[in-house]
Structure formats: structure tokens, C-alpha cells
Amino acid sequence: MLKSKNSSFKQTPLNNPVKIVLIYFIVSALWIFFSDDLLFNFFSDVAEQKLISIFKGWAFVLVTSILIYFLIRNSFKEIMVTQKKLLESEQYSRMLFESSSMGLAVTKMDGKLVDVNPAFAKIIGRTVEETLRLTYWEITPEKYYEQEQRQLKSLSEYGYFGPYEKEYIHSDGHLVPVRLQGLIIERHGEKYIWSSVEDITERKISELALMEKEFLLAESQRIAQVGAWSLDIGEEIIQWTDETYRIYGVSPEKFIPTPNSFMELIPENNRTVMQEWIRKCISGTDAGDLEFSIIRPDGEVRILNGRGILLRGSNNEPVRVVGTVQDVTQRKQAENAIRESERRYQTLLNISPAGIFRTDLNGNTTYINPKWTEISGLSEQEALGSGWLNTVHPDDREKLISDWKEISYRQQESLAEYRIMRPDGSISWVMGQAVPELNLGNQIVGYVGTIIDLTDRKLTEDRVVQKNKQLQILSRTAKIINRKLELDSILRQLVSAALELTDSESGAAGVYIDGKIVFTEYNQDGKIIPIDYKFEEGNGVPGWIIKTKKSYITNDAENDEHVVPEIQKALGFYNLIDTPILDNSGSLLGCFEIHNTKDKRPYEQADIELLQGLAATTAIAIENAKLFEKAQEEITKSMRLSEALMAANKQFEDTLENMTDGFVVLDNNWIYRYVNSNAAKMFGRKAKDLLGKHIWTEFPEGIGQPFYNNYYKAVETRENIIFEDYYEPWDRWFENRVIPSRDGLSIFFQDITERKMYEISLRASEEKYRSIYENSSVAILLTTLDGDIISANDFACKLFQRTEDEICRIGRAGLVDLDDERLQPILEERKTTGGVKGFLKFFRKDGSTFEGEISSKVFTDGSGNKRTSMIIRDLTEQRLAEARLIESTEQMRSLAGHLQTVREEERATIAREMHDELGQILTSLKMNITFAKRELEYPELNEKTKKLFDELSSMNNTIDKAVIQVRKLITELRPELIDKLGLIAALEWYSEEFQKTSKINCAFITDLEELALDHDTDLAIFRIVQEALTNAAKHSKADSVEIYLKKRGRTVAVEVIDNGRGIREEELKGRKSFGLIGMRERATLINGRLDISPGQDWGTIVKLEIELEK
């Protein structure tokens, strides 16, 4: 162990003997040199001196013995302490060695492991004992031997090696990546290698994960179109990723990103903003996102989104600006399209005549349109969530909730009619409809629906029911009167009718007798109760009737001054109507009195009018009871007139209410006297809120508008006026019909905004298509289904050499060859499907004909008539060009075939010449050399002759190689096996030769024993296979090729399949792929089909099929 810097010399046990000797020497010298002088000074006697000397000697021995004892004892203690410290130090070092998390090993120079710690053994998956039985080379893969030799060389030169990375062999066979370093140490004069080893498996995994993430990041940038950039402070060059170059549309080889070159890509009007943004990024200010546009070198404008951030060093100094850039052009275009779509959608929602809503799965409202709030009377805030339920009438609410839960559970459409209570207390009928709303995963996320205000319809239905009910009652009453009944019975029936007409609970009819109105019966809920009430003038309400002969109504009977309190309490009524029964002269005959005893429904003027009508009927009955026969005719006539009048009034009212036009009536003071429901909807007001109001007070914005002037013009001229008007405050178009009368104006108006927009769009569309029609480069005809021509464009006139009038006059028969057998099938197909494409023969004015390609469709014009459009393209030039192309192609193919034949003949000639001439020459040379060698084969040859003999042997070998090469060339020029043994033997031989020369496994597979083809076909197949194998060797990087020869029926098929990289599309279409072109031409010359394609997973497939002639 090395000493501490603070250790001293006397702490070293090895120095104690020297110390003892030195002390003994000093003590002895002092005793020898000074003890005698001291004694002689004190003792003068010789005997005493002698005795003292003896004593001095023993004293010296005793003192030095004691001194040496204590010195040796202290030294022994120091030795024991030192040995203890050494042992503790060695134990501590061993403990550090054993507990180290890093692998530690001591190895001999020959690789024998002599000491390892558990961490090292764990790295290679063994125990310490197992590891010490191995050598360093047994845990090192062979691929690292060369590297290890370099490290040993470094160790011998510099005394240390590493750090470097390698792999150890784990006990289970897998390789463990490690990082190690070491140095040479000495023990007992022998050199060892001390190594520290770190298992870097997790780091390697992290590095692989990092590489994968970097790859994924690059791919993510490419897919997300996000590029990255960085700029070192003070530098000019901006670092861009590949995706950044692609986004800016520039090439890394041609474009150097600097601040100046970058600014050239920014439009001038955006450069100031960009410079300010860059300044903020560099200054460390939060610049945020910047959306900007660029102009690529090819002129394309793109919209980008940039971000940047400043990075600072350890001293807080700015170091680098980094950022990202993303191409958001498509997103911006999509956002603009979405915004436009949302705008249109919102507009449709806002102007929709129906209320529209959206709910979640629990029925909570998440959206309503303005019409919904108008119908319900709730604000948007009040309606959202479950607030809409507050508007549902209590009698309908429970059923509506139950139905909603049912359709939500079944995920069905919902359709329901129910009442809503508006905040102002009015009740409206609505029809609600909802359908499930699906997300992109086809899952229901809520419901979308509409509500339509049915109040007018319901009121109309109620009025119809009420009117029908009243008519039935009146009809029944008429029947009662027509019968010859007692007066009391007639009155009893009429009281029942009065109660039914007014929906009352009780009432009576009194007869005017001797100045009093007398009541004898009281109808209470259909039960007849006898009474005896007589009223004189001024007594009660009947007394008021006697005095005034007018109807009387009160809805507060308890506090009414004319009501007799005793009678009110006795009968228990709240509301009351008394109506006099008068004869034709106005004389009083009696009165009707009706009450409400159960509820406090207020009576209205309409109830009085019903009773007055009934009273008139009753008067007739009373007055004419004795003259029934005569009265019957008058009553019948009266009833018929009444029914007709009521029907006419109802029909007129229904007509006004149900018409699609708005209709209002203004009196001469411009006061609203009538407003139908459609007019109220257009105004966005209630009809009852407008009645009695001044038009220009309610709609001051209309003053000065065109309709304002036309209204006054109609009043002045007393003439009907019809006009169309755009009302700017509402952004709507209206058609107005103003009809003046003596009492004011009747005005019909209709919203024609959609029609006007359609007309404007139609005109624009017509102009656009008219321009296309007139300027088209093809002939266009508009015709009837019968073949009459309505119009023709300019190009059609030029094509047929006729004017448009001439074309329209002669029709289809003058332009189309009617004998063309293709005509009728084309007409039939167009009639059946509405459209057709085909070819027909046409005539020009000069008598010439031409082949034309036609496209025709049936359409309906604005008047509802069926018309057809026909587009005609002259194919004359195309047909000539096609013919020339076919002729040229055939000539080129014939030439190619001739060239192939000439080429093969030349090859055969060359091969024959090489065989006959060059073969004989080489054979003669070989024979001459052989003879020369025989002359020199003698034992007594000298050195020079032996050298000549060796040269001749070498020349002989060279000639043998030349003969082999010539044979190979002859075979490649003209495969003799094809002529001698046929195609199958030639292909089998060539596949073996190809495998020998290319070192690529080549298998020839066929189930044919013989194949009889003509010589040209055999040769073409052989050459195509030869070229396919050559391509496989040169380009595919394959290590295996298979050749298949098959015959199925009259089809011969040859396939060459390799396992290389596969042919690329551009290689198949390349104009310079002469080998492929030659193969296709050879296949064509033998009427074969050649298909070259990449394999499904790898490799290339060359397939040749030949149909043999019968």
C-alpha cells in the first residue's frame, strides 16, 4: 500500500534497530568520556576510585539494559500497531474491491484471471469461483481479438489502455456491452493487468431508444411538416433540418440559409414584422408564435407558423436561438373553409323558420337558435341545461320526460306535440322532433332537433271545433224550434244550448209578462230546479234589462251593484251574462241569464254575441209559436243564411290565415286593422300588438323606402300597384301588391329573397356557361329528344361549315349519317340512362364525312321541357395520327425483327469463323509447341534450355485457356446446344454456366422432357432468359435465381425469378433501359407477352407467355 502524505519516518517499524544502536552509542560515549572525570573530582583515593569504577561498570550495564528494554518494548508496540493498521488497510481495500459496483479484475499477461470482484462476475453471469477458472480470451468474442491486440500494444507502450467499448460473452451466450480501461501493476516482481469494467447495457439500450426517438422525431417532423432551426449568436449560417428545407422549397445543396437569404423568401410587406420577431427572439423577449407567409423559389406561396427561444450559457450569456417552423397552409385553407361553412351554417340556423336545438344524452340543452328563443320566450341563458323544461306545460311535462327517456334508451328519433308556457303567461303549442347526433365513431353523443310553432294551427283547430260545436248546437236548436213543442220545453232546450255554447254551468230563461221577467226553472249542471223569481224594472240585472233592453256582463258578481246578493249567494255564481230576447220591433219578450258556478272563467264579448244570436232565435220561437207553420219557413231561411255567412266568414278567415303571403289592412289613418299570422312572423311581432297601431310609428325605418312611396302613390291614384322591393333593414326582398279602397289599403306581400338570390345565381350561371358554350373548342349542340336542333355554338358551325340557322333548320338528319348502325343503340341508351358516349359518322356541307366522338346528356330546361346537349369532337386528325403511328410502329417492329435476324446470322457467322479459323490456328500452335517440348525433353539439358522448356509449357497453358475462352465466346454467340439438343438442354446448360461464373445459385425447373418449337422461337426464349439472368447479376444484388419452363395447353410460359432488391418503377419506364426494350421486342416478334414486375415482397419476376399456333 502507498503511504499517506502525512506519515513520518519514526512511524516506520523498519527504522527501530538503527534508532536503538544510535541511542546506545551516544549513552556509552557520554558515560565513557565523562564518568571518570566526575568520579575523580569526588574521590581521590585509588581504592575508592577502583571500587567506584566497579560499581560504575555494573551501574552502566544496569542502566543500558533498562534503557534497551524500554526502547525494544516501545518499538515492539509500534510494530504491532503498524501491522494492525496494515491489516485494517488491506481489509478495507478488499472490502472496497468486493463491494465496488464496477467490475474489477486482475489478469496475468497471458490472459489468466487471478482475481475478480462480484460485480465483474455478475456482468458475465457467473460466480467469482466460476470466473476465476476462465481466461480473458474465453469471455471475449473472436471479433474483438484484433481490437484487443491493439489495446495490449497500447498497454506495453504507455502502461495503460482504454477506455474503450467491447462485448463480453454472458454465461447464457448473449453478448454484454461493456466499457473498460486498465493499467499494468506489479506484484512480487510479476506484471499483472488491472482492469475496471462497466456494464453499459442500459446505456446502449438508451442510445438505441434515443436513436429511435431521433428517427421518430425526424419522421414526425416530416409527417407533421414541422422543421427545426438554430442560429448561434454571432454566426451567419442558420442550421436547418431536412424538413425545414422541404418546407421552404429549397435544396440543401443549392441554398445556404443565412439571415439575408432567408429574408429573400419573405414577401416585402412582411419583412419588417419578421425582423422585429427575430430581434425579440435574439433579445430573449417572449416573441410568441408568428404566422407568416413565404414565396418559394418556384413561386408557390405557403403560410408558416414559427416559434423561437433564446438559450443561455452557464454565465447567462446568450448562446443560441433555436426554434421550429410548421407549414400550416393546408390547415389555414381548411380553417377558412370551415369558418365559411360555419358561417353559412350559422346563417341558416339564424334565419331558420323552425326552432333548432342540440342536447346531450341526458336531455340537457347545449344550443338553441334565435327562432327557438322567439317561440319559447326564454333567453338563451334561461333555456340552456334543463331550463327548457320550465317552459313545458305542467300537464305535458311528465309525459314528455318519460317519452324522452324511452327514445334515449332505444336511441330512436323523437316526435311529440306539447304545450309551452311563455314567460308572459301565454300558452303555445309546438311540435318537437329530435334525431340522434353521431360522432366520428358512429356513437350517439346527443340529439339535434327542431320545434315548430303549432299555436296558430291549434287555435285554428280549436276554432274549427268550437265553430262546429256551435253550428251543431244552433242546428239542434233550429230543429227544436222547427218542432211543434210547448214554449216551456223550447225555453228549456234553448237554455241547455246557451250553456253549451258558452261553456257555462248554470242558467235560466225568463219570459216578460205584465212588466216583469218571470223565471220558473233553473238549469244547474243539467239538473232542472224549479224557481220563482220575478224582476221588475230596476230590480237586479233582469230589471236593468227591462229598462235598457241591452245585454249585461259581469265577471265579479259578488261586488256588482246590479246583482241581487241574496240570489248570488243562493245560486253561488261568480260571473253572469244577461241577454234580452227582443222581437223584430225591438219589444222585450224575455231574457237569457247564464252563470259560472264552479270556476271563474271570465266571459267575453264573443259569449254575448252567441247568446244574442240564440236570443234572436228564441224571440222568433216565442213570437211565432202560434204561427209555427209560417215561422218555420222564415227560420229555415234564416238558418241557411246564417250558416252560409258563417261558412263564408270562416273560409275567408282561413284563407287569410293560411295563405303564404303576408296580409295587412290599413285604414285611411295608416292604422293597422288586420294582420295575418304570416305578416306577423315576417315583422317579428305579434298580430295583436300591431292592431290599432300606426304603421310609421311601429316601423319608422320604413319611411322613405320604395314601398313607402308606393303606398302613398296607391292612396293618391286609387290604382292597384304591384312591385318588388329590397328592404335593407331586414336584408330581404319582397313582392308587394297594394290594393286601395275607400276605407284604406289592403296589402299583400311575399318574401321572395330566395327566389331573387336564385335568379341572380341563375343569371351568373347562365353567363358563365354561355361563355363556355360560345368559346368552347369542341362542337356543342342543344337539341330536342326528337332530333330538332335548338342552337349550335361557333365551333359547331365551323365544323359542319354551316351557319347556326342552317344547322337548326336541317336538324339531326342533315348532320348525322342515319344509316350508321351505331346511331339507334346510342339513342336508346341515352333514352334509358339519360346520358351516352360513343362514335358516329357526320356530314359536312361540302359533302365530306368525318368520324366524331360524341357525349350527350338529357336535361330539363327552365320551362320543364326535356332537352339534350351533345358535344362532338372531330376525330379525323386523331385517326390519321393513330394510323400513322400504327404503320410506323409496325415498320419499326419489322425493322427490329430484321435486325435481330441479321444480328443472329452475324453471330452465327462469327462463331463459325472462330471455330473454323481461330480454332484451327490455336490447335496448330498447340501441336507445334508440343513437338518443340518433346525435342527438349532430355536429361542433359542445360540451364538455358530448361528455361526455354518452361516458357513453352507456359505458352501451352495459355493456348489451353484461349481455347476454352474461344469455345465460351462461340457458345454465347451461337448456342450450339439449341441446334443440337433443343431449348430445354440449352437452358439447363446455361443455368449451370451462369452459376459457375456469377457465384449466384441458379436452378432450372421444368416438367417437360422435350419441347418442339421453331428455331427462331427457341433462340428468342434463350436470349430473353440470358438477358434476364444478366440483369439479375448486374443490378438485383440477388444470391438466388430460379428459371421455370412450363407448357399448359397451347401456352408456353417461361419465368425467371430472383430474390434481389426488386426492379423499380422508374427502371421499368426508363427510356434507356435498352436490355428490357430488347427483351420486349424479341417477345413481340414471336407473338409473345412479356411482363416484368417486382415481386410481392422482394425480387423481380420476368414472365414470358407464347401462344402456339394450331
Whether residue 994 is contained in a domain is answered as yes
pLDDT at 1065: 76
pLDDT-derived band at 973, boundaries 50, 70, 90: low
Domain that holds residue 84: 9-93
Residues 645 and 685 in one domain: no
pLDDT in tens, 654-665: 666 666 678 889
Q: Does the pLDDT value for residue 1013 go beyond 70?
A: yes
Residues 610 and 688 in one domain: no
Q: Does the pLDDT value for residue 1040 go beyond 70?
A: yes
Whether residue 630 is contained in a domain is answered as yes
The domain total for the chain is 9
Q: How far is CA 40 from the centre of its chain?
A: 126
Rounded mean pLDDT, 136-149: 87
Q: Which residue has the higher pLDDT, 719 or 99?
A: 719
CA distances from 1055 to 238, 452, 1044, 1077 (A): 55, 73, 5, 17
Q: Which of 858, 824, 819 is nearest to 841 (CA)?
A: 819
pLDDT at 558: 87
The CA-CA-CA angle for residues 110, 116, 117, to 5°, reads 165
Whose cell is 445556404? That residue is 256
Mean pLDDT over each residue of the chain, to the nearest integer: 79
Whether residue 99 is contained in a domain is answered as no
Residues 420 and 295 in one domain: no
Q: Does the pLDDT value for residue 275 go beyond 60?
A: yes
Residues 911 and 847 in one domain: no
We report the CATH number of the domain holding residue 623 as 3.30.450.40
Q: Which of 515, 518, 519, 471 is nearest to 497 (CA)?
A: 471
pLDDT in tens, 364-410: 888 888 888 888 888 888 878 877 777 888 888 888 878 777 777 77
Q: Which of 522, 513, 665 is nearest to 589 (CA)?
A: 513
Handedness of CA 677, 682, 686, 690 (dihedral sign): negative
pLDDT-derived band at 9, boundaries 50, 70, 90: very low
The arrangement of strands across the sheet holding 744-751 comes to 672-675, 662-667, 744-751, 732-741, 721-727
pLDDT at 40: 60
In 920-1000, the DSSP E strands lie at none
Whose cell is 312572423? That residue is 681
Residues 884 and 854 in one domain: no
Q: What is the radius of gyration, based on Cα positions, of the chain?
A: 61
Residues 356 and 424 in one domain: yes
Phi, psi (degrees; rounded to nearest 5) at 613: -65, -40
Grid coordinates given for 462: 280549436
**The most confident of 334-343, 658-667, 884-893, 977-986, by mean pLDDT:** 658-667
Q: Which of 832, 864, 896 is the last residue of a domain?
A: 864
The arrangement of strands across the sheet holding 1040-1048 comes to 1001-1006, 1040-1048, 1051-1058, 1100-1107, 1088-1094
pLDDT at 6: 35
pLDDT in tens, 52-88: 666 666 666 677 667 666 666 665 666 666 666 666 6
Amino acid (1-letter code) at residue 206: S
Contact 528, 535 (CB under 8 A): no
Contacts of 803 (CB under 8 A, 6+ apart): 797
Whose cell is 436513436? That residue is 211
The rounded distance, in Å, linking the Cα atoms of 608 and 502 is 9
Q: Does the pLDDT value for residue 460 go beyond 90?
A: no
pLDDT in tens, 858-904: 888 767 788 898 888 888 777 776 777 766 666 665 655 556 566 66
The rounded distance, in Å, linking the Cα atoms of 748 and 977 is 104
Whether residue 261 is contained in a domain is answered as yes
pLDDT at 622: 72
pLDDT in tens, 494-534: 888 888 878 888 999 998 888 999 998 888 888 888 988 89
Residues 54 and 121 in one domain: no
Handedness of CA 512, 518, 520, 522 (dihedral sign): positive
pLDDT at 481: 58
Residues 468 and 495 in one domain: yes
Residues 89 and 133 in one domain: no
pLDDT in tens, 1081-1094: 788 878 888 888 88
**pTM for the complete prediction?**
0.29
Whether residue 473 is contained in a domain is answered as yes
Phi-psi region of 159 (alpha: psi -120 to 50; beta: other; left: phi over 0): left
Whether residue 138 is contained in a domain is answered as yes
Rounded mean pLDDT, 833-847: 90
Residues 472 and 619 in one domain: yes
Whether residue 814 is contained in a domain is answered as yes
Residues 943 and 837 in one domain: no
Q: Tell the burial category of 161 from Cβ atoms under 10 Å away from its Cβ (0-12, 13-18, 19+).
A: buried
Q: Which of 29, 61, 93 is the last residue of a domain?
A: 93
Residues 626 and 704 in one domain: no
Q: Lowest-confidence range among 15-29, 110-124, 384-398?
A: 15-29
Contacts of 950 (CB under 8 A, 6+ apart): none
Rounded mean pLDDT, 1045-1049: 87
The rounded distance, in Å, linking the Cα atoms of 917 and 910 is 10
Whether residue 248 is contained in a domain is answered as yes
The rounded distance, in Å, linking the Cα atoms of 466 and 47 is 176
We report the CATH number of the domain holding residue 894 as 1.10.287
We report the CATH number of the domain holding residue 814 as 3.30.450.20
pLDDT at 170: 92
Q: Does the pLDDT value for residue 576 go beyond 80?
A: yes
Q: Which of 654, 681, 705 is the last residue of a domain?
A: 654
The rounded distance, in Å, linking the Cα atoms of 812 and 842 is 10
